[in-house]
Structure 1
Amino acid sequence: MNWKRWIRNTALGWAMVLALVSTAAGQNSIPEEWKNLDPLKLVEAIDANLWSATKYVEGRLIVDNGRRVRTLEMNTWMEGIVKSFSHYKSPPRERDTKMLKIDRKLWLYTPQTDRIILIAGHLLRQSMMGSDLSYEDMLEDEKLSDAYIPEIAKVEEFEGVKTLVLDLTAKDPEKTYQFRKVWTDPERKIVLREQRFAKSGKLLKMIDFKGYRTIDGRLFPRKMVFRDMLKDNTKTTYMFDHIEFNVDIPAKYFSKRILKR
């Protein structure tokens, strides 16, 4: 046996192991200013950036199914987490399609059929307008601090930002996404990435939050990129072209009568 070579290779191997351990320790060590951070208070601050009593959005869903790209333009009015109404403006095929959410119920109106459909049961798991979002995602659009229990998992660098990664466990055992993992920037009180998991631990959805800017004193993303992890080579980008917080919304926007107007 060549002992010199064995010693050299062994020393090199241990050096690599120690380097990896050192890197992992540095990656996962909690910065001093974050050591006393309450994960629930952080999630509440993140929610305060994203949510308001009411909200009006002019936006676009850019749906890329791997073969072609479609853009749907819509206006959306929201009241808290329990009511929302969306009116699709284009393309021509989807023009005047409308969607209404009230509490845990979701209705869809399409001008082609001139019918109002209650989206329930297995229909909730279907793709919404051919996108990477399901109709169930619309019903589960809610404050994380209300629906999940957060715990600090680790510190990790994400796209050049040192983030605090949180594991969130659903309070309701019947929720579609029993677990979520979020990459947060505790300094700005924002989320950069979110992963959504089934009870089995299978990764179902991934969302990237990009282009944060200040609107009415709060940080809000310019776009959210959704990926259905059960599909290959697809993504849906929700562009927030114009947004207003705490606006007056007439009651008619949250009535079923508006769907056929």
Structure 2
Amino acid sequence: MLKHTSRRTVLRILVGAGALAFTLAHPLVAAASDLPPADDPRFLPALLDAIDDLHRGDSSHALMQMKVQTKHWTRSMAMESWSRGEEYSLVRILEPKKERGTATLKVEDDLFTYLSKTGRTIKITGAMMGGSWMGSHFTNDDLVKGTRLADDFDAKAEEGPAIDGEATYKLTLTPKPDAPVVWGKIEIEVRKSDLMPARETFYDEDGAAVRLLEFTDFRAVNGRTFPARMKMTPLDKPGEYTEIRYAKIEFDVGLKREFFTLQRLQSL
């Protein structure tokens, strides 16, 4: 078993403390896997640093499909996204036609939604942060939380289960005293071959698993490996899920910060 308590480590996972870092617009790409030996004290900090670097600094443009399945209805959407690092992202709906142009803009810690039907732009604040993003099982809060997990969690690592034939490391994150987080624990299985997250499980403060995020269909684009499919399942709602599939993606597309403006949000 590999155990260490994170001190000066940096951790940024797809979904951390309930945050996506907006994975939709910030697709992860594989990190270098030249880690120290597992019994080396430097192993866990290096592993966390490598995971943190999965999407740092990359710009991207993508087309994707999102399917939302609930107890009462099924909804499918086609979307287009742009991103620059962790701080900037823009996602708009392409289909269905009646919602085309509805979009979400993230600029650092601020989140805005443009409603194409009414022509209104809304800044998402306060109680609205806990609301569903575009009817999915992701929340608005998932899109904007940027706190590094190492600031709020201690971490340990051990051998994980094989997932789709891939050996994994299992990371267990527990909140530090007085940490402003809603999760009692987060477990993350990371593929040893490329340090890509394969599965993340979120537990409430009573120790019950409440949310599962899975990454599959790993592909190579321009020499980069990334998961083309991700699925969020609320474990307290049997049969419900939100699934995102990438149809097309480009990396290092040269987007500048000036691209991510309210004017752009409203003009797409």
**Structure 1 length normalisation: TM-score?**
0.77
Change (3 A) 1:170 1:83: farther
Q: 1:210, CA displacement in angstroms?
A: 0.1
Alignment pair present for 1:41 and 2:46: yes
**Residue 215 of structure 1 aligns with which residue?**
221
**Residue 162 of structure 2 aligns with which residue?**
157
Amino acid at match of 1:70: R
Q: 1:51, CA displacement in angstroms?
A: 4.3
Alignment pair present for 1:139 and 2:144: yes
Extract unaligned runs of 5+ from structure 1: 1-27
SS across alignment from 2:114: strand
1:124 to 129, 154, 172: 129
Amino acid at match of 1:205: R
Q: Larger C-alpha radius of gyration, 1 or 2?
A: 1
Amino acid at match of 1:137: D
Amino acid at match of 1:42: L
Count of residue pairs brought into register by the alignment? 233
Q: 1:234, CA displacement in angstroms?
A: 0.7
Per-residue CA distance 1:169-209 (angstroms, 9 max, x = gap): 45782234463211112222111101123445443321100
Give % identity: 24
Native 8 Å contact 1:252 1:258 kept in 2: no
Q: 1:224, CA displacement in angstroms?
A: 0.5
Alignment pair present for 1:106 and 2:111: yes
**1 CA distance for matches of 2:188 and 2:60?**
24
Native 8 Å contact 1:49 1:218 kept in 2: no
Native 8 Å contact 2:109 2:146 kept in 1: no
Alignment pair present for 1:59 and 2:64: yes
When you count helix as a share of all residues, which structure comes out higher? 1
Alignment pair present for 1:253 and 2:241: no
Amino acid at match of 1:90: E
Per-residue CA distance 1:149-174 (angstroms, 9 max, x = gap): 43114433334433221112457822
Extract unaligned runs of 5+ from structure 2: 4-36
Which structure has the higher relative contact order (CA within 8 Å, separation 6+)? 2
Per-residue CA distance 1:27-71 (angstroms, 9 max, x = gap): x699xx644371232233234344443122211111111443221
**Structure 2 length normalisation: TM-score?**
0.75
**1 CA distance for matches of 2:78 and 2:165?**
32
Native 8 Å contact 2:2 2:156 kept in 1: no
**Residue 247 of structure 2 aligns with which residue?**
241
**Residue 179 of structure 1 aligns with which residue?**
185
Alignment pair present for 1:92 and 2:117: no
Alpha-carbon RMSD across the aligned residues, in angstroms, is 2.8
